[in-house]
Structure 1
C-alpha cells in the first residue's frame, strides 16, 4: 500500500511506514559496516594501549628491583 510520498510504502501487516528506496538502504548498510569497522579499530587500539601500559609498568617494576 503506497503512502503520500512515493519513497515510502506501508507494510500490510504492521502498518509501519517503510522506505522503499533501495539506494538509501544500500547506503545505510555501507555506513553501518563502516561504523562497525571504525569501532573495531578503536577497540583494537584501546587493547594495544592497555597492553603497552602493562608492559611499561612491568618494566618500571623490574627496573626498581634492580636498584
Structure 2
C-alpha cells in the first residue's frame, strides 16, 4: 500500500489541468473516505484492480462531470 500526502496529490493535479483524479493517480477508481484527512492510500490489488482511497473533500474537489 502506498500513502501520498494530500498536498502532494493537489500539486500533481495542479500540474495536470483537465485530468481526472483517477488518471493522475493511475488507478481504476478513487473511493471517498470520511475518516481520512491528509493522506491518499493507493492499493495495488483489490479484486485485481489498482484503487485509491482519498479524503471526501479531495475527491469532491476533483469530481468528474
Higher relative strand content: 2
Structure of higher RCO (CA pairs closer than 8 Å, 6+ residues apart): 2
Higher relative helix content: 1
Bigger CA radius of gyration? 1
Superposition TM-score, scaled by structure 2 size: 0.29
Superposition TM-score, scaled by structure 1 size: 0.28
